[in-house]
Amino acid sequence: MVALRTRGLGKTFRVKRKEAGLSGSFRSLWKPNWETKEAVRGIDLSVREGETVAFLGPNGAGKSTTIKMLTGILHPSYGEAEVLGLTPWKERERLAYRIGAVFGQKSQLWYHLPPIDTFELISRIYELKRDEYARRKDELIERFELGPYLHTPVRKLSLGERMRCEIAASFLHGPRLLFMDEPTIGLDAVVKQRIRELIRERNREEGTTVFLTSHDAGDVESLCSRAVVIHHGGVLVDEPVERMKREVLSRKIVTLKLAEDALRTELPDIAGAQWETEEGCRLSVDLKRTTIERVLGELIGRVGFTDVNVEDPSLEEIIKHIYGMKKGAD
Ligand SMILES: Nc1ncnc2c1ncn2[C@@H]1O[C@H](COP(=O)(O)OP(=O)(O)OP(=O)(O)O)[C@@H](O)[C@H]1O
């Protein structure tokens, strides 16, 4: 069954362009200069129930605007959308019972209250039956290991502890579709991984559809089965993450902290890897051709370094790469 479908969905904003300086401000008041900004340009998208979709794009690509239209917060300028059989901006209240939303940068928990009080409040807002609420709450507390934080005011929790409570809270009313905007932003690697596992588990056990935006390639790789990349308000790529992994997520970035006396001019050629900076501290490794172990083995003794870091390329770099590939193919 289809969880979400859009046809030619678009949003244009009318923004006032203010001229510089004080006189410009007065002129704008007197004779405003309006211009239109196309934030989303006719998106066609279809997501099946139970899918985990990453909705990606560089800053300003139109991700948040799309999510706001799909959750009924914004009216589109043109096009259609159906979310769980409802038109979001016309049936927002009914839709709220069926969907959940997590915003990494905004909290839905009451700041001064302990999470358990927000849970109670949510159960009233969504009119959950008492026994159903007790069952779901206990299960989520156990799975998300929330016991130690339940009675501490949210303001005293660490970001990781709060995010676990946030995500558990968004699952409380049993949404069939969960929108997540940067759910792991600012978290350390261990907490990120745990949160991804928990979301995956909910998707597996309850069949919750996940529609997620993130700037973290790790979220996409370990949480989503499909990736939709938008650019300048339109869909650029829509493909399985497995394929994306083979084509563009198969690189790691090795960053070296060079020793004072390191020979910066003569960087050795490393099979399957490419130096990305003239200073020779950033190496892009193609995992289809070599392994991190082999690369580090070759570096030791040939380049003097005092520290090393291995990470995924940033999502921005990945998108740039996809964009380049796409342009080449066209
Ligand atoms: N209320 C608004 N009024 C005018 N322009 C807006 C408004 N909201 C968004 N925009 C513009 O629409 C474009 C898309 O913004 P949007 O927030 O959807 O991007 P995004 O992909 O979510 O970016 P980010 O990754 O930075 O969160 C941007 O150019 C933004 O400045």
Q: In the prediction, which pLDDT does 326 show?
A: 67
Does residue 55 lie in a domain region? yes
Whose CA is closest to atom 3 on ligand 1? 13
Ligand 1 center–CA 10 separation, angstroms: 13
Counting Cβ atoms within 10 Å, is residue 95 exposed (0-12), middle (13-18) or buried (19+)?
A: buried
Please tell me whether residues 291 and 177 are part of one structural domain.
no
Could you identify the residue written with the tokens 């390639």?
A: 217
263 & 165 share domain: no
- The answer to whether residues 43 and 6 touch, using CB atoms and an 8 Å cutoff, is yes
Q: Is the CB of 69 under 6 A from ligand 1?
A: no
Q: What value does the mean pLDDT take over residues 47-62?
A: 91
Closest Cα to atom 8 of ligand 1: 65
DSSP result, 34-102: EEEEEEEEEEEEEEETT-EEEEE-STTSSHHHHHHHHTTSS--SEEEEEETTB-TTTSHHHHHHHEEEE
Name which residue sits closest to atom 10 of ligand 1, judged by CA.
39
Instruction: Give the model confidence (pLDDT) of 235-268 as tens digits.
Output: 888 989 888 777 777 888 999 888 776 655 577 8
Domain boundary residue, one of 246, 265, 290: 246
32 contact partners, CB below 8 Å, separation of at least 6: 16
Tell me the HSE value of 30 on the side-chain side, using a 13 A CA sphere.
7
* Ligand 1: centre distance to CA 36 (Å): 13
Within a domain: 79: yes
* Cα(99)–Cα(84) distance, integer angstroms: 9
In a domain, 324, yes or no: no
Q: Do 168 and 183 belong to one domain? A: yes
Q: Using CA atoms in the order 170, 174, 178, 184, what is the torsion angle rounded to 10 degrees?
A: 40
- Residue 265 Cβ inside 6 Å of ligand 1? The answer reads no
Non-local (6+) Cβ contacts of 302 within 8 A are 268
Based on the fold, state whether residues 266 and 140 are members of the same structural domain.
no
108: burial class by Cβ within 10 Å (0-12, 13-18, 19+)? middle
Q: Which of 224, 246, 268 is the last residue of a domain?
A: 246
Residue 91 forms part of a structural domain: yes
Residue whose CB lies within 8 A of the most ligand 1 atoms, among 63, 77, 180, for a mutation test: 63
Q: Collect all residues with Cβ–Cβ distance below 8 Å to 172 and sequence separation of at least 6.
A: 119, 122, 123, 126, 128, 133, 136, 137, 140
The alpha-helical segments, DSSP class H, found in 172-211 are 189-206
Helix (H, G, I), strand (E, B) or coil at 294: helix
148/297 same-domain check? no
Ligand 1 atom closest to residue 37's alpha carbon, by position in its atom list: 5
Our CA dihedral for 133, 138, 142, 143, rounded to 10 degrees, sits at -20
What separation in Å is there between the alpha carbon of 65 and the centre of ligand 1?
6
Residue that terminates a domain, selected from 227, 246, 265: 246
Check pocket membership of 17 for ligand 1, CB cut-off 6 A. no
**Mean pLDDT score of the chain:** 87
The SS3 call for residue 3 is strand
Is 195 part of a structural domain of the chain?
Answer: yes
Same domain, 77 and 45: yes
- Tell me the pLDDT tens digit for each residue of 90-129: 999 999 999 999 887 788 899 999 999 999 999 999 999 9
- Write the DSSP symbol of residue 278: T
Classify residue 318: in a domain, yes or no.
no
pLDDT in tens, 266-279: 778 888 898 887 67
Contact 292, 310 (CB under 8 A): yes
- At residue 123, the pLDDT reads 94
Cα–ligand 1 centroid distance for 328 (angstroms): 28
List b or e across 172-181, with b for residues whose CB sees 16 or more CB atoms inside 10 angstroms.
Answer: bbebbbbbbb
63 Cα to the center of ligand 1, angstroms? 8
Query: Does 242 share its domain with 254?
Result: no
In a domain, 60, yes or no: yes
Question: Are 180 and 276 in the same domain?
Answer: no
Considering the domain architecture, whether residues 267 and 219 belong to the same structural domain is answered as no
Q: Band the pLDDT of 327: cuts 50, 70, 90.
A: low
| 211 alpha carbon – ligand 1 mean position (Å) | 18
Q: Kindly state whether residues 47 and 125 are assigned to the same domain.
A: yes
Q: In terms of domains, do 15 and 94 share one? A: yes
The pLDDT tens digits for 287-311 are 889 999 999 998 887 888 888 999 8
Task: Give me 50's structure tokens.
Answer: 């139970």
Q: Which domain holds residue 275?
A: 250-311
Residues 255 and 241 in one domain: no
pTM score of the predicted model: 0.80
- Per residue in 151-180, pLDDT (tens digit) is 999 999 998 889 889 999 999 999 999 999
The number of C-alpha atoms within 13 Å of 274 and in the hemisphere containing its C-beta is 6
Helix H or strand E segment including 210 = strand 209-213
**Alpha-carbon dihedral sign for residues 116, 117, 120, 122:** negative
For residue 20, give both structure tokens: 């510089």
Integer distance in angstroms from the first to the last C-alpha of the chain? 33
Distance 60 CA to ligand 1 centre (A): 5
Does residue 319 fall inside a structural domain?
no
The CATH number covering residue 128 comes to 3.40.50.300
The count of structural domains within the chain is 2
